[in-house]
Amino acid sequence: MTKMFCFQCEQTAGGKGCTNKGVCGKIPEVANKHDALTCLLIDLAKAADGKGLSGKAHDLIVQSLFATVTNVNFDERRIEDFIQLVESEKALIGCTEKTPADFLWSGDSDIVSLRSTLLLGLRGMSAYAWHAKILGKEDKEVTSWFVKGLKSLGEEHTVDEWLALIMEFGQINLKCMALLDEANTSAYGHPEPSKVSTLIEKGPFIVISGHDLHDLELLLEQTRETGVNVYTHGEMLPAHGYPKLKKYPHLKGNFGTAWQNQQAEFDNVPAAFLFNTNCIMSQKPSYQNRVFTTDIVGFPGLTHIPSTNGTKDFSPVIEKALELGGYSEDTLHTGVNGGTNLLTGFARNTVLSVADKVVDAVKSGAIKHFFLVGGCDGARPGRNYYTDFVLKTPADSVILTLACGKYRFNDLDLGNIGGLPRIMDMGQCNDAYSAIQVAVALADVFKCSVNDLPLTLVLSWYEQKAVCILLTLLSLGIKNIYIGPSLPAFLSPNVLGVLVDKFGLTPISTPEGDLKAILG
C-alpha cells in the first residue's frame, strides 16, 4: 500500500510519482494533508457557486494553494492550520460536502492527467496572485477563476471540455502574470540593465531567497545602518534591476546559484538565510540554526517570521547575521562556469526601448535567431543540456532567459550584438510575461505571428509555476516549444499526444540535434 501520492514536479520518483516519501523530502503526513487541503478547497468552491465568498476566503484559497507548491511548506502543523481555516469557511456557507482525499489521483488515467494539469496550473498561479496581492494588486477575474477552476476540478467533464478549461486557464494566468508585472513595476520601477557581483564583502550579511520583492524591501529598510549587508539568492537575483531596490547601498550582490545547490553552498557560511517563497530544501546541521522562513514558506524546526498588519519584524534574522559576523575578509564566490558578474534587468521596457536597434539587426541579418532558454533549474542529471545548448548557439543569435534555469549559463560572457549582450536576463519565472510582450511586439513590427518569428522557446521545467506558464504559452497558440529535461509525469500518453499534435510540444534531445532541427 502506498503511503502518499505526488507527481507534481520534475524530480518525482522514477519519473512516475512519489509514493513513500517525496524526493523533495516531503513526508507522507504532509503530502496527505496537502491533498486533504486541496479537496476542502474544491468543496468550498463548489458550495460557493452562486453564493460568493468573502475577500478573506479568496485570500485563503490562494494562500492554501500556494502552500502545496513544491518546496514551499513542509510543516504539517502549518498545513493543518490552513485546513482548519478552510473548514471554518465551509461551515460559514453551510457546506457539508466532503470530497474524499484520494479523489485527486483516482480514475481514468487521461481524466486524472487533465484534472492534474489544471490543478497544478492553479497551484502555480496562486504564487503569482499572492505576490501581487501583497503589493496591493488584485484582479477580480483572476480571483474568481480560482473558484471556477477548483469547482471544475470536482466535476466531470469530457476530454474536450477539460482541454477548453485548461486553455481558458492559460489566458487567466496571462492576466495574473500581467497583474504581478504591474504590481512589481508600479512599486519598484521598471527593471534596468544591472551588473551584479558575486563577491561577498567582509562583515555580517543576510541572504534572501525567493520571489517576493516586498519582503526584500522590508528587509533592506530594517537593515539600514545596521552594518548588515544583503545578498540575493536564486530567483531574487532580478531584484537588482529594480530602481527602487537597487538604490539601497547595502544590497550588495548575489550569493550562490540555483536552489538545488543550497545544501552545498550554504554549508558553514557565516550568514543568516531567509526564504520567502519556494524553493527551500532540508538543511544540513552546519547551517540549520541560521535559516528563517516567512510568508507561506514553512519547514519544521525553523524560525518563522510572521506578517502582522502588513509588516514583518526581521529582527531575529538581523540579530543572527550580526552574531555570525560574516566573513573576516572579502570572499569571492563564482557562478557555475567561474564567472564573477551576472547581468540582469532586461525586462520588456528595456528590450522594447531598443526595439528599433533589434529590428534593424534582424533586417540586416546581424541577428538571425532568438532563443528563449529559461525556466526552473533542478537537481536531476540532464540539465547540462541547457548550458551546452547556449554555448553551441551561433554568434548571430540572441538568448533571452528568465527564472533560475539561467544559473547554468548566466555567468558566461558570450559577447554582444549591436550593443546588446547576447544573453539577456528578463527576470524571474513570472517575467515570462515580459518575454511574451517582447515577442508580441516583434511580431507586430514584422507583421507576422509569434510562430513566424525567428524565435524558439527552449524551456526547462521543475515545479508548478512552470506548468502555469506553459499553459499560458499554449493558450496563446505558441507552437513547437522544446521542453525538458524530462516530460511531466502527470501527462498521460494520450494527453501528451494531443499536446504534441496540436502544439508541436517537443521533448529536448541533444543540443546539436535540436539546434540542427531549429536552424536547419
Sign, CA torsion 91/95/99/104: negative
Closest CB to ligand SF4: residue number: 22
**Site pattern 64..83 for ligand SF4 (x: CB under 6 A):** ------x-------------
Among 23, 322, 352, 366, binds ligand SF4 (CB under 6 A): 23
- Say whether residue 18 binds ligand SF4 (CB under 6 A): yes
How far apart CA 371 and CA 375 sit, in angstroms, is 13
What is the full DSSP assignment across 278-307?
A: S------TTTGGGEEEETT-B-TTSEEE-E
- Which residues pair with residue 73 across a beta bridge? 298
- Say whether residue 26 binds ligand SF4 (CB under 6 A): yes
Q: Which of residues 42-61 bind ligand SF4 (CB under 6 A)?
A: none
- The secondary element (H helix, E strand) that includes residue 369 is strand 369-375
Strands 199-200 and 331-332, how do they pair?
Answer: antiparallel
Q: Which of residues 374-403 bind ligand SF4 (CB under 6 A)?
A: none
Which segment (2-10, 341-349, 363-371, 421-429) binds ligand SF4 by CB under 6 A? 2-10
How far apart CA 375 and CA 382 sit, in angstroms, is 14
Residues in the chain, how many? 520
150-to-47, 105, 108, 279 alpha-carbon distances in Å = 11, 15, 19, 24
Among 1, 2, 3, 7, binds ligand SF4 (CB under 6 A): 7
Give the closest residue to 29 by CA, choosing from 86, 102, 79.
Answer: 79
Q: In degrees rounded to 5, what are phi and psi of residue 367?
A: -110, 120
Q: In degrees rounded to 5, what are phi and psi of residue 363?
A: -65, -35
Nearer to ligand SF4, 15 or 52 (CB): 15
Minimum Å distance from CB 473 to ligand SF4? 22
Nearer to ligand SF4, 30 or 213 (CB): 30
Question: Prior bond to 454 cis, omega within 30?
Answer: no
Among 19, 24, 258, 409, binds ligand SF4 (CB under 6 A): 24
Among 19, 22, 68, 468, binds ligand SF4 (CB under 6 A): 22
Nearer to ligand SF4, 24 or 183 (CB): 24
Nearer to ligand SF4, 11 or 260 (CB): 11
Which segment (18-26, 76-84, 117-125, 341-349) binds ligand SF4 by CB under 6 A? 18-26
Q: State the first-to-last Cα distance of the chain, in angstroms, to the nearest integer.
A: 50
How far apart CA 127 and CA 109 sit, in angstroms, is 27
- Say whether residue 151 binds ligand SF4 (CB under 6 A): no
Question: Prior bond to 485 cis, omega within 30?
Answer: yes
Which segment (7-15, 278-286, 342-350, 494-502) binds ligand SF4 by CB under 6 A? 7-15
- Say whether residue 11 binds ligand SF4 (CB under 6 A): yes
Are 256 and 200 in contact by the 8 Å Cβ rule? The answer is no
Nearer to ligand SF4, 350 or 460 (CB): 460
Nearer to ligand SF4, 8 or 222 (CB): 8
Three cell numbers written together for 400: 533571452
How far apart CA 364 and CA 24 sit, in angstroms, is 48
327: which DSSP letter? B
How far apart CA 374 and CA 466 sit, in angstroms, is 10
Nearer to ligand SF4, 22 or 326 (CB): 22
Minimum Å distance from CB 6 to ligand SF4? 3
Which segment (22-30, 329-337, 386-394, 475-483) binds ligand SF4 by CB under 6 A? 22-30
Half-sphere exposure of 86 (CA within 13 A, CB side): 30
Minimum Å distance from CB 29 to ligand SF4? 12
- Say whether residue 150 binds ligand SF4 (CB under 6 A): no
Nearer to ligand SF4, 380 or 479 (CB): 380
Which segment (16-24, 306-314, 330-338, 451-459) binds ligand SF4 by CB under 6 A? 16-24
# of chain residues touching ligand SF4 (CB under 6 A): 13
Minimum Å distance from CB 122 to ligand SF4? 15
- Say whether residue 9 binds ligand SF4 (CB under 6 A): yes
Are 166 and 117 in contact by the 8 Å Cβ rule? The answer is yes
- Say whether residue 485 binds ligand SF4 (CB under 6 A): no
Minimum Å distance from CB 485 to ligand SF4? 14
Burial of 363 (0-12, 13-18, 19+ CB in 10 A): exposed
Burial 409-420 (b: 16+ CB within 10 A, else e): bbbbebeebeeb
Q: Which residues bind ligand SF4 (CB under 6 A)?
A: 6-9, 11-12, 18, 22-24, 26, 31, 70
